[in-house]
C-alpha cells in the first residue's frame, strides 16, 4: 500500500470505531483464516466459500463485522465531501433513492440527506453487532433464530453505501488513488453475498454493470 493510501485509510478517518473479535474465540480464528486467504492473493470467489465443517452463522457473523469495518472506513474517506448540499437525498443516481426506516424514530420510510442516512445506518448496525443477543461472543451461546434475516438487512443496507460512493463520489476515490482498494472490497462483498444468497438480486441492480459481472 502506498504512503498516500495509508494516509487515506488511517484509523483517524474511520467513520466509527472498529468492532474486533476476542482472541482465542472460534470467530477470531475464522476471522484470521478469512484474512489470511485474502492476503495470500487467493481467488476472491474461493475465499468467500464456507470452510468445510464450519458453522454458517459464525462465517456470516465474521464477514458482517468485517464488511461493516471496511465500508465504514471507505465512507469515512469521503464523508467530508458528502454533505446535505452535495447529496440532499440518499441515492444511487436518478433511478435509485433509499429511504430510512428503523421502527423507532422513523416508523415509515423517510427521505433523508445522504450524510444523515449514513449516520443513522452506521449507528443502527453498531447497535446490532454489539448486541450479545444477536451477535453472541461467548462460546456455546447460540445465535438467535432470526440471525440470518438480521444479517441480510445489515448487508443490504451496507450495499447501499457502495452504491452511493460509486455513483456520487468515485471521482474522489480516484483522486485519492484508492479505487483498487475500494474495487477489491466491493468484489469481496459481492462474491460473499451472492455465494450465500444474502441479498436479493433486485437490490444489486444499481451496480449490475460493475466490474463483478
Binding site per annotation, positions for Zn(2+): 82, 87, 164, 169
Q: Helix-strand-coil percent breakdown of the chain, rounded to 5?
A: 55, 0, 40
Residues in the chain: 213
Q: Which residues are annotated as a binding site?
A: 82, 87, 164, 169
Task: List residues bridging with 97 in a β-sheet.
Answer: 91
How far is the CA of 166 from the CAs of 130, 139, 173, 179, in angstroms? Answer: 28, 39, 9, 10
- Following DSSP, what letter does each residue of 166-197 receive, concatenated? HHHSHHHHHHTT-HHHHHHHHHHHHHHHHHTT
Nearest to 211 by CA among 192, 177, 186: 186
Other residues' Cβ atoms within 10 Å of the Cβ of residue 123 = 11
Amino acid at each position: 500500500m502506498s504512503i498516500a493510501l495509508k494516509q487515506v485509510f488511517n484509523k483517524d478517518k474511520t467513520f466509527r470505531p472498529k468492532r474486533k473479535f476476542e482472541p482465542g474465540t472460534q470467530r477470531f480464528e475464522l476471522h484470521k483464516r478469512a484474512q489470511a486467504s485474502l492476503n495470500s492473493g487467493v481467488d476472491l470467489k474461493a475465499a468467500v466459500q464456507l470452510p468445510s465443517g464450519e458453522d454458517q452463522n459464525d462465517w456470516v457473523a465474521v464477514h458482517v463485522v468485517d464488511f461493516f469495518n471496511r465500508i465504514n472506513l471507505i465512507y469515512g474517506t469521503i464523508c467530508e465531501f458528502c454533505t446535505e448540499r452535495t447529496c440532499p437525498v440518499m441515492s444511487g443516481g436518478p433511478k435509485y433513492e433509499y429511504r430510512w426506516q428503523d421502527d423507532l424514530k422513523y416508523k415509515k420510510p423517510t427521505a433523508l440527506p445522504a450524510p444523515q442516512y449514513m449516520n443513522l445506518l452506521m449507528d443502527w448496525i453498531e447497535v446490532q453487532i454489539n448486541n450479545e443477543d444477536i451477535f453472541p461472543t461467548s462460546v456455546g451461546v447460540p445465535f438467535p433464530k432470526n440471525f440470518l434475516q438480521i444479517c441480510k438487512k445489515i448487508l443490504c443496507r451496507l450495499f447501499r453505501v457502495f452504491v452511493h460512493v460509486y455513483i456520487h463520489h468515485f471521482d474522489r476515490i480516484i483522486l485519492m488513488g484508492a479505487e483498487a482498494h475500494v474495487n477489491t472490497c466491493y468484489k469481496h462483498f459481492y462474491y460473499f453475498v451472492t455465494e450465500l444468497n444474502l441479498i436479493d438480486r433486485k437490490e444489486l441492480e444499481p451496480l449490475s454493470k460493475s466490474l463483478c459481472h
